[in-house]
Amino acid sequence: MLLVIGYGNPLRRDDGVGPWLVEYVSCVIPDPFIEWRTCLQLTPEWAEPLSRADCAIFVDATAEGHSGQVMWSRLEVLDDLQSRGIVHHLIPQDLLTAAHFLYGARPDAYLLTVTGEDFSYGQGFSPSVQAQLPLAIEYLSSAASIQALLHFSPE
Amino acid sequence: MTQQILIDPVTRIEGHARITLQLDDSGQVADAQFHVTQLRGFEKFCEGRPFTEMPSLMARICGICPVSHLMASAKACDALLAVKIPAVAVKLRRIMNLAQIAQSHALSFFYLSAPDLLLGMDEDPAKRNVFGVHEVEPTLARDGIKLRQTGQQIIELLGGKRIHPAWVVPGGVSEPLNAAKRDQIKAMLPEALTIAQRTLDWFQTVIDRYTEEISAFANFPTLFMGLVNPSGGLELYDGQLRITDPAGVPITDDFDPQDYARYLAEAAESYSYLKSPYYKPLGYPDGLYRVGPLARLNIISHCGTPLADQAFAAFRQLDRQSSFHYHFARLVEILYCLESIDRLLDEPDILSEHVRAHAIPNNNEGIGVSEAPRGTLIHHYQIDSNGLMTSARLMIATGHNNLAMNRGVLQVARRFVQADHLSEGMLNRVEAVIRTFDPCLSCSTHALGQMPLHIKLLAPDGHLLDEVRR
């Protein structure tokens, strides 16, 4: 199973780009091997479904980089699960590490980010993020399709 | 010379708060204050909005227990409509409320408090988290995740999403339950019940390690308050309000929650945005009382489900005044919630499609009361002839416990804190007494856990004597 998780707060403008992208692309690629999920933030419960996935793609907004920048990176398991000592709010590497330590799973995992500039209260994206949505959609569509093919291509 | 210790912020609670410990000339703790430093303002900014928006709007008060606010708000709106909602809608709302309480209790026990209970109050703070628990008790860590996930999935199956579901509406719920979802929920329950029972069994083996904390964690006589059903059993959605003395004996007849203002009033202190409700006949601050799992189990005669009643019998052997036993009470209630969900899903009409009563407003005032994970939750609305809100009064579960939390902090600080030697374990105990109440100061900030503990020791003239950070 390919698990795609878009997370962020849709009421904090650009922070909501992750869920928005996942909801949009899930309508375009109705692949039975892909599980599309959205949430406000990552919490420890996600470690369990992640442990059942062959591959995972996290989709998030970031403040790093220049506004509207679309970035793709591979995620690795952290050495120390406890280093960040957190309860509610996790980053994808925490979940990946938790899936490994708690459930013995090590799915391939990737992170797609879009750099936001406006994280204030409200709905709708800043012009720079809005302008890059087509590129982000293409990235996510292609990545999800490729990963689904790689992991679930017929013998 | 008096000195002050400031714990800012308090960690592993839901929201932002700090604690000030005032020392006397001999370095002993003379006073303690629990400050809630955030202001939400919901009561004010909902004025002028249509009352029909209230369930969705009020649910935004909290990211951890939106369902609880949905329940109380929808019940207040039912009262504005003056409708009796369909029986199946009550059952479906109950199921969601039970799932909410189970998942919230799981969060409190496994994520926030188990690190202290398993690893000890003096353990390195970097390890005192749910993943630190894994190193010592991997099953406990996985169980915590599974149990919380179960509650959330039930909420999601009913309401369409885990957080801020818009399914609970004035007059009932927006959609009936279907057979597939019912079967899906029922299939989750056996494992969840096994986990809840296993956790309770484990907790009973370690509880004796904490005799000192049991004796000092907000352990004093207070009144207790909560809803009860007509037979005096545990009630989390409806029923009558009961207020008892410290021994669990009712001090007044059980009363209709609509009459809450006859018995309860609120005081405000300059050091906190959290109001301090009190029992009116005893005045402020003598009328302090406790709500939530400990109080609920202290005021009832039985839970009403087999496993919960078995656990309830063991709970009744404990010191009922100690707030440390909120932890035990949460585990009893998790069992009750899971068993009750199972029972409700077997009701013959549970798939009925008549789930909502429609009406225009017929009252200009409505009160909704239900039990949230942390205690009794009251929403009191007034509207004008156009259905626009003119007033909202919210008495939140955590607020009811404010006086007891303050007194509990003082008790723990006096027992464990010595000004000449600030240790991590000592300060963690001051925070841990707050955690027993599981206060929800505003979950929607989602900032807990990342914030450092910052303690300042100040001389009366304000200069810094000592400082500890983590």
Could you say which DSSP state residue B417 is in? Answer: -
Q: How far is CA A149 from the centre of its chain?
A: 19
Q: Tell me the mean pLDDT in the region B129-151.
A: 86
Cα–Cα distances in Å, from A34 out to A30, A107, A151, A152, B392?
Answer: 8, 14, 11, 10, 45
Q: B448 and A87 in contact by Cβ < 8 A?
A: yes
When pLDDT is cut at 50, 70 and 90, the band that residue A70 belongs to is very high
Cα–Cα distances in Å, from B465 out to A115, B62, B413, B425?
Answer: 44, 38, 19, 20
Least confident of A65-79, B263-277, B296-310: B263-277
B144: closest CA of chain A, how far (Å) = 9
Q: Among B130, B144, B449, select the one facing A89 at the smallest CB separation.
A: B449
Nearest to B138 by CA among A76, A57, A101: A101
Q: Which two tokens stand for residue B397?
A: 């579960």
When pLDDT is cut at 50, 70 and 90, the band that residue B457 belongs to is low
A143: closest CA of chain B, how far (Å) = 26
φ, ψ at B322 (rounded to 5°)? -85, 125
Q: Among B128, B134, B448, select the one facing A101 at the smallest CB separation.
A: B134
Interface A-B: count of C-beta contacts within 8 A: 65
Q: What is the pLDDT of residue B124?
A: 75
State how far the Cα of A39 lies from the Cα of B349, in Å rounded to an integer: 33
Does A72 contact B at CB distance below 8 Å? no
When pLDDT is cut at 50, 70 and 90, the band that residue B37 belongs to is low
State how far the Cα of B244 lies from the Cα of B221, in Å rounded to an integer: 11
Q: How far is CA B38 from the centre of its chain?
A: 18
Q: What is the pLDDT of residue B466?
A: 59
Q: What is the pLDDT of residue B112?
A: 83
- Give the torsion sign (CA, B70, B76, B78, B80): negative
Give Rg (Cα) of chain A. 15
Is the pLDDT at B17 greater than 90? The verdict is no
To the nearest whole number, what is the mean pLDDT of chain B? Answer: 86
Kind and range of the H or E run holding B11: none
Q: What is the pLDDT of residue B225?
A: 98
A83: closest CA of chain B, how far (Å) = 7
Torsion of CA B160, B164, B169, B173, to 10 degrees: 30
Give the list of residues 6+ apart from residue B364 with CB closer than 8 angstroms, or none.
Answer: B80, B382, B383, B384, B385
State how far the Cα of B413 lies from the Cα of B410, in Å rounded to an integer: 5
Is the pLDDT at A88 greater than 80? The verdict is no
Q: Among A87, A102, A103, select the one facing B12 at the smallest CB separation.
A: A87
Q: Tell me the mean pLDDT in the region B112-133.
A: 78
State how far the Cα of B305 lies from the Cα of B334, in Å rounded to an integer: 11
Is the pLDDT at A87 greater than 60? The verdict is no
The model's pLDDT over B218-237, given as tens digits with 9 standing for 90+, comes to 999 999 999 999 999 999 99
Residues of A in contact with B128 (CB under 8 A): 85
Does B382 contact A at CB distance below 8 Å? no
Is the pLDDT at B442 greater than 60? The verdict is no
A97: closest CA of chain B, how far (Å) = 10
Cα–Cα distances in Å, from A40 out to A12, A105, A110, B135, B146?
Answer: 10, 24, 19, 28, 19
Terminus-to-terminus CA distance in chain A, angstroms? 16
State how far the Cα of B153 lies from the Cα of B176, in Å rounded to an integer: 17
B449: closest CA of chain A, how far (Å) = 5
Check: CB of residue B55 under 8 Å from CB of residue B49. no
A141: closest CA of chain B, how far (Å) = 24
Q: What is the pLDDT of residue B450?
A: 36
Is the pLDDT at B449 greater than 50? The verdict is no
State how far the Cα of B347 lies from the Cα of B106, in Å rounded to an integer: 26
Is the pLDDT at B445 greater than 50? The verdict is no
Is the pLDDT at A153 greater than 70? The verdict is no
State how far the Cα of B230 lies from the Cα of B222, in Å rounded to an integer: 24
Q: Among A82, A86, A102, select the one facing B142 at the smallest CB separation.
A: A102
Give Rg (Cα) of chain B. 22
Q: A102 and B450 in contact by Cβ < 8 A?
A: no
Check: CB of residue B329 under 8 Å from CB of residue B299. no
Residues 409-468 of B with CB under 8 A from A: 446-450
- Give the torsion sign (CA, B135, B137, B141, B146): positive
State how far the Cα of A95 lies from the Cα of A110, in Å rounded to an integer: 12
Check: CB of residue B409 under 8 Å from CB of residue B284. no
Mutant choice from A5, A82, A101 vs B, greatest count of B C-beta within 10 A: A82
Q: A85 and B449 in contact by Cβ < 8 A?
A: yes
The model's pLDDT over B251-295, given as tens digits with 9 standing for 90+, comes to 999 999 999 999 999 988 777 777 889 999 999 999 999 999 999
Mutant choice from B13, B127, B135, B145 vs A, greatest count of A C-beta within 10 A: B145
Residues 112-151 of B with CB under 8 A from A: 112, 125-132, 134-135, 138, 141-142, 144-146, 148-149
To the nearest whole number, what is the mean pLDDT of chain A? Answer: 88
Mean pLDDT comparison of A27-31, B213-217, B349-353, highest-scoring range: B349-353
Q: Which CATH architecture has domain A2-152?
A: 3-Layer(aba) Sandwich (3.40)
Choose between B7 and B401: higher pLDDT: B401
Q: Among B130, B152, B446, select the one facing A41 at the smallest CB separation.
A: B446
3-class secondary structure, B386? coil
B127: nearest CA partner in chain A: A82
How many degrees, rounded to 5, is the angle at CA B150 between CA B146 and CA B155? 150
Residue in the structure block whose two tokens are 């400031």: B6
A49: closest CA of chain B, how far (Å) = 10
Give the list of residues 6+ apart from residue A56 with CB closer than 8 angstroms, or none.
Answer: A2, A3, A4, A5, A50, A92, A96, A107, A108, A109, A110
Is the pLDDT at B469 greater than 90? The verdict is no
Give the percent of chain B with pLDDT over 90: 60
Domain extent listing, chain B: 3-40+402-469, 84-218+339-358
Residue B240 Ramachandran class (φ > 0 left, ψ -120 to 50 alpha, else beta): beta
- What is the CB-side half-sphere exposure of residue B395 using CA atoms within 13 A? 28
Does B343 contact A at CB distance below 8 Å? no
Does A83 contact B at CB distance below 8 Å? yes
Choose between B25 and A121: higher pLDDT: A121
Is the pLDDT at B443 greater than 50? The verdict is no
CATH number of B84-218+339-358: 1.10.645.10
Check: CB of residue B453 under 8 Å from CB of residue B25. no
Q: A85 and B126 in contact by Cβ < 8 A?
A: yes
Domain extent listing, chain A: 2-152
Torsion of CA B377, B383, B389, B393, to 10 degrees: -30
Could you say which DSSP state residue B196 is in? Answer: H
Residues of B in contact with A89 (CB under 8 A): 446-447, 449-450
Q: Tell me the mean pLDDT in the region A46-71.
A: 94
A154: closest CA of chain B, how far (Å) = 30
Check: CB of residue B157 under 8 Å from CB of residue B122. no
Terminus-to-terminus CA distance in chain B, angstroms? 27
Residues of B in contact with A103 (CB under 8 A): 142
State how far the Cα of B181 lies from the Cα of B76, in Å rounded to an integer: 28
Residue B462, Cβ neighbours under 10 Å: how many? 7
Is the pLDDT at B468 greater than 70? The verdict is no
When pLDDT is cut at 50, 70 and 90, the band that residue A152 belongs to is low
Is the pLDDT at B470 greater than 60? The verdict is no
Q: A101 and B12 in contact by Cβ < 8 A?
A: no
Q: A103 and B446 in contact by Cβ < 8 A?
A: no
Residues of B in contact with A83 (CB under 8 A): 126
Is the pLDDT at B13 greater than 60? The verdict is no
